[in-house]
């Protein structure tokens, strides 16, 4: 991700360092609110760490597609060939850069959110087209094809917006607890970055 992309993004929503703490104070009595807020922040840090690791590994600002991640409300897994020392450096650097305003690091084009949005949008548009258009085979085929193409055209941008405003949040409340090599529930080797919540 280039510096121009990071610094030129204009947004109507500017993250505040106490927004999640204040939200939790007001709505923390609802089950799952803290976990949801934590997961959003962890998700952002996971993405930022992948970006930083990619730049450390390749000495450039491009995505290293051999690195992947999975967020939980307690931290995140990273998969791929990762140097543990570089990982420690990358997590700390990613957290610092996010907190200092490089908010676009929280968004990643390979995020599962994008795939989910694309699937839902395509399904919705194809079903709507099927129900609205006349039932002649040629009309249906043409309509469904156009719906699929249109959905796939708009899905990446919509997916990025869903990440920005819903599935990630700037990790103002996260503190790194521990980084360890582990095996995930599926038996795959990974690094787990354990995080904890701290009120800002």
Please check whether residue 26 lies inside any domain of the structure. yes
Give the count of alpha carbons within 13 A of 181, CB side only. 7
Same domain, 80 and 175: yes
- Taking residues 129-136, report their average pLDDT: 93
How many whole angstroms separate alpha carbon 86 and alpha carbon 99? Answer: 20
- CA atoms of 29 and 38, how far apart (whole Å): 15
Whether 6 has a pLDDT exceeding 60, the answer reads: no
Both 9 and 67 in one domain: the answer is yes
Q: With both helix axes pointing from N to C terminus, report the angle between 84-99 and 33-58 in degrees, rounded to the nearest 10.
A: 120
Percentage of the chain exceeding pLDDT 90: 79
- Is residue 154 located within the same domain as residue 177? no
Asked if residue 150 and residue 130 are part of one domain, the reply reads yes
Is the same domain home to 89 and 137? no
25's CB contacts (< 8 A; 6+ apart) are none
As a whole number, mean pLDDT of residues 18-33 equals 92
Q: How many domains does the chain divide into? A: 2
- Both 142 and 50 in one domain: the answer is no
- One domain, residues 149 and 179: no
pLDDT score, position 184 = 87
Mean pLDDT score, 62-87:
92
96 and 41 share one domain: yes
* Residue 164 included in any domain: no
Q: Do both 103 and 58 map to the same domain? A: yes
Alpha helices for the chain (secondary structure H): 3-8, 19-27, 33-58, 84-99, 112-132, 137-162
pLDDT cut 70: percent of the chain above it: 92
Write out the residue range of the structural domain in which residue 142 sits. 112-159
List, for residues 145-197, the tens digit of each pLDDT value.
999 999 999 999 999 999 999 999 999 999 999 999 999 888 899 999 999 99
What is the pTM for the complete model shown? 0.87
Are 21 and 97 found together in one domain? yes
Distance CA 177, CA 20 (A): 20
Say yes or no: 19 and 101 in one domain.
Answer: yes
Judge whether 83 lies within some domain: yes
């Amino acid at each position: 991700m280039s510096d121009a992309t990071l610094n030129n993004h204009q947004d109507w929503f500017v993250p505040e360092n106490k927004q999640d703490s204040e939200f939790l104070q007001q709505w923390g009595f609802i089950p799952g609110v803290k976990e949801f807020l934590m997961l959003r922040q962890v998700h952002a840090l996971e993405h930022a760490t992948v970006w930083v690791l990619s730049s450390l590994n390749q000495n450039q600002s491009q995505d290293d597609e051999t690195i992947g991640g999975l967020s939980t409300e307690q931290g995140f897994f990273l998969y791929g060939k990762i140097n543990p020392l570089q990982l420690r450096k990358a997590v700390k650097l990613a957290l610092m850069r996010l907190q200092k305003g490089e908010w676009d690091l929280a968004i990643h084009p390979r995020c599962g959110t994008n795939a989910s949005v694309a699937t839902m949008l395509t399904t919705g548009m194809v079903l709507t087209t099927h129900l609205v258009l006349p039932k002649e085979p040629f009309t249906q085929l043409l309509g469904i094809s156009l719906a699929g193409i249109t959905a796939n055209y708009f899905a990446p941008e919509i997916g990025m917006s869903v990440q920005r405003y819903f599935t990630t949040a700037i990790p103002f409340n996260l503190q790194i607890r521990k980084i360890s090599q582990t095996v995930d529930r599926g038996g795959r080797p990974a690094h787990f970055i354990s995080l904890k919540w701290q009120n800002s």
